[in-house]
Structure 1
Amino acid sequence: MMTNAQSGTNIHEVADGIYRINTPIALPDGAGKFNFNQYLIVDDAPMLFHTGPRRLFAPVREAIDAVLPVERLRYIGFSHFEADECGALNSLLSVAPQAVPVCSRVAAMIAIDDFAERAARVLADAEELTLGGRTIRWFDTPHTPHSWECGLMMDVTTETLFCGDLFTQGGRGEIALTESDILGPSESFRLMMDYFAHSPGTGAILERLARERPTTLACMHGSAWRGDGAKLLGELSTSLHRQP
């Protein structure tokens, strides 16, 4: 469903009660198209994962309102401190008075305790947060794909892994949910402008995520994906190991 024709912002359900908000953008200097995704998790205590950049606050808010009143948000989560992850955090906190940021301990320590207008709900590695009918599990993923404070989360109820910048795909992200190959396009994009830290711990982190056996991958850029998530995470690890 298109929610803002001017920005191209649209929203689609990609798993039970989980909605992908997508906005295509033009890259600088005519370098092509890119896209930002946020994920709205509908429950007794709704959560938004990723806020989008501050300048996209208005169309993202419109998309949220198409599913539920934005003031119902209780949690606003993100992987790490970066504009597309949490640039609109304070704007969202201003219209959702009961919402709090959700992030890793390191993110709170180095950025969010100072940046955010409201204290964060800090999640430790493997800690779970109940939203009502579903449970969110947090994973510390330092330097995977980048940033010391990085973390990812999984809705264990629907087996949906909110995988942040893993499997980033360029383009407009027109397809909300796919079962086609995303590893090839995401690796092609990564090799053009490598954004991975290539930490010694990356392989072990991807293996740990694979053991959760996700069936939906909620990518921050590009299509969400449905299939054997453990297999795909293993293939990503193998590809990273082969590349310089």
Structure 2
Amino acid sequence: MTITNVSSGTNVHEVADGIYRINTGMDQIPGGFSFNQYLVIDDQPLLFHTGPRKMFPLVREAVESLMPVSRLQFVALSHFEADECGSLNDWLAAAPQSIPVCGRIAAMVSVNDVADRPARAMADGEALALGKHALKWLDAPHLPHGWETGYLMDTTTRTMFCGDLFTQGGTGAVALTESDILDASEAFRKTMDYFSHSTHAKMLLEKLARESPATLACMHGSAWRGDGANLLRALGDRLAEQ
């Protein structure tokens, strides 16, 4: 792990081959919280989630520690929310050739209106080639919230950029863990109640499980390595109990 900003504690850590977690811990809620972004370094680099607009200098500094920001080709988001894409236009300005990447619904209802350049709107199951890495878009409406929600699956490293799924409290000091995160994420979910309670949640989690991820790139808390299919199905079982 490399600290890129001493004041904020922003740090970077490689969680899979060519995939770097950028983490900043905050104290906005009791017990702390963290914001993670993921940078895929390849022929066409991609940043998944931008962080809130006011965090742009910190995240940019972290990206610059790994590669020139001007190389960035894609700025991807799971759903339209400040921590997902608050600094989207800042990134588009810093990397003039870059474009947003999101699902078709997000492009239609939000991104193409707000962003300074039109998005590449991904269909369910569509692939995006970066070079060594190939990313597959997976529609997941209302999982855990947002009609436009979707995720990216790197079929090369078996890394799933799983957005707000498995959100954990705390500052995310452990970059990558193989320990249980389900209980911690469920405790956080039950306190904050940020899930949409969609009747399709278990079906969508099964869809994600069939991708057999080996790493789950969580946006809040630690990234996780292990049998991702089993963990996603376990989450589906927990949701079905409520």
RMSD across aligned positions (CA): 0.7
- Partner in structure 1 of residue 106 of structure 2: 107
Aligned length: 241
Equivalent-residue separation in structure 1 for 2:101 and 2:66 (angstroms): 21
- Larger deviation, residues 196-205 vs 171-180: 196-205
1:63 Cα deviation from its structure 2 partner: 0.4
Partner of 1:56, secondary structure, is helix
Equivalent-residue separation in structure 1 for 2:139 and 2:71 (angstroms): 27
Equivalent runs, 1:1-244 vs 2, <5 Å: 1-27=2-28, 31-243=30-242
Equivalent-residue separation in structure 2 for 1:133 and 1:162 (angstroms): 17
Render the CA deviation track for 1:208-229: whole Å, top value 9, x for unaligned: 1101100000000000000000
1:32 Cα deviation from its structure 2 partner: 3.0
Render the CA deviation track for 1:70-117: whole Å, top value 9, x for unaligned: 110000001000000000100111100111000011001110111000
Alignment gaps of 5+ in structure 1 = none
Partner of 1:164, secondary structure, is coil
Render the CA deviation track for 1:150-189: whole Å, top value 9, x for unaligned: 0101000000000000000000000000000000100000
Equivalent-residue separation in structure 2 for 1:80 and 1:240 (angstroms): 21
Render the CA deviation track for 1:26-71: whole Å, top value 9, x for unaligned: 115xx23100000000100000000000000001000001110011
Alignment gaps of 5+ in structure 2 = none
Letter in 2 for 1:196: F
TM-score after normalising by structure 2: 0.98
Letter in 1 for 2:183: G
TM-score after normalising by structure 1: 0.98
1:6 Cα deviation from its structure 2 partner: 1.1
Percentage of identical aligned residues: 61
Equivalent-residue separation in structure 2 for 1:92 and 1:7 (angstroms): 20
Partner of 2:157, secondary structure, is coil
